């Protein structure tokens, strides 16, 4: 005689996301998610293999969020305008949801195929814009890597507080973006 389910896979991911947004990855404890779902900790193991699986689900949803933010933020008619606005949308996403952003490049994920697929999904907007900009096919991958390396490096250092020497961060970002886009 089945007990009616008090929660679900999707509901748990949603609650886990909220915990991450508020307190970072370490706030995503099995007990905290269970409590938020009105259930006891052992019950979670009926929905997820372990904490790592829950973490991966949140990471994947964060990658989808990033993809959406990039698409919404990409505006303008020229390639320069569109790539610049996309880069600004990338940074805005990271600054608005720092903990969620950090999940994306956490290494909980290593070899998981679903993570790899979500990662490719999040990278698609950039690839499409580079293609539309007329970048040669064989240069799209290296150019995309230089751009994402700069973007991820800049915002992750910004989030971690590594830019402690004063100066205008907005201008440093704009300058870096100009330099990188000149290479496109």
Residues that bind a copy of itself (CB under 8 A): 105-107, 109-111, 116, 119-120, 141-143, 145-146, 148-154, 156-157, 159-167, 171-172, 175-176, 178-180, 182-183
Smallest distance from the beta carbon of 172 to a copy of itself, in angstroms? 4
Q: Which long-range contacts (CB under 8 A, 24 or more apart) does 25-28 make?
A: 25/55, 25/99, 25/102, 25/103, 25/106, 25/108, 28/54, 28/55, 28/58
Smallest distance from the beta carbon of 48 to DNA, in angstroms? 8
- Whichever of 55 and 109 has its CB closer to a copy of itself, that residue is 109
- Whichever of 2 and 113 has its CB closer to a copy of itself, that residue is 113
Smallest distance from the beta carbon of 101 to DNA, in angstroms? 21
Contacts with DNA, residue ranges (CB under 7 A) = 1-3, 5-7, 28-32, 39-43, 45-47, 50-52
Residue 145 contacts which entry, a copy of itself, DNA, none (Cβ below 5-8 A, type-dependent): a copy of itself
Smallest distance from the beta carbon of 45 to DNA, in angstroms? 5
Smallest distance from the beta carbon of 44 to a copy of itself, in angstroms? 21
- State the DSSP string of 32-54: HHHHHHTS-GGGGGGT-SSHHHH
Would you say 39 and 33 are in contact if contact means Cβ atoms under 8 Å apart?
no
C-alpha–C-alpha distance, residues 170 and 167, integer Å: 9
| 86-125 per-residue burial string, b: 16 or more CB within 10 A, e: under 16 | bbbbbbebbeebbbbbbbbeeeebeebeebeebbeebbeb
Residue 113 contacts which entry, a copy of itself, DNA, none (Cβ below 5-8 A, type-dependent): none
């Amino acid at each position: 005689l089945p007990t009616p389910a008090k929660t679900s896979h999707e509901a748990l991911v949603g609650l886990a996301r909220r915990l991450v947004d508020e307190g970072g990855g370490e706030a995503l404890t099995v007990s905290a998610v269970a409590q938020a779902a009105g259930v006891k900790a052992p019950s979670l193991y009926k929905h997820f293999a372990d904490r790592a699986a829950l973490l991966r689900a949140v990471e994947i949803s964060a990658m989808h969020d990033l993809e959406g933010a990039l698409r919404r933020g990409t505006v303008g008619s020229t390639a320069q305008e569109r790539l610049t606005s996309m880069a600004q949308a990338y940074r805005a996403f990271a600054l608005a949801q720092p903990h969620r952003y950090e999940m994306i490049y956490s290494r909980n994920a290593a070899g998981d195929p679903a993570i790899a697929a979500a990662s490719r999904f999040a990278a698609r907007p950039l690839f499409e814009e580079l293609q539309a900009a007329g970048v040669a096919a064989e240069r799209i991958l290296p150019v995309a890597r230089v751009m994402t390396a700069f973007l991820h490096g800049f915002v992750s250092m910004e989030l971690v507080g590594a830019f402690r020497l004063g100066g205008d961060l907005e201008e440093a970002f704009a300058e870096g973006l100009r330099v990188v886009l000149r290479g496109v």
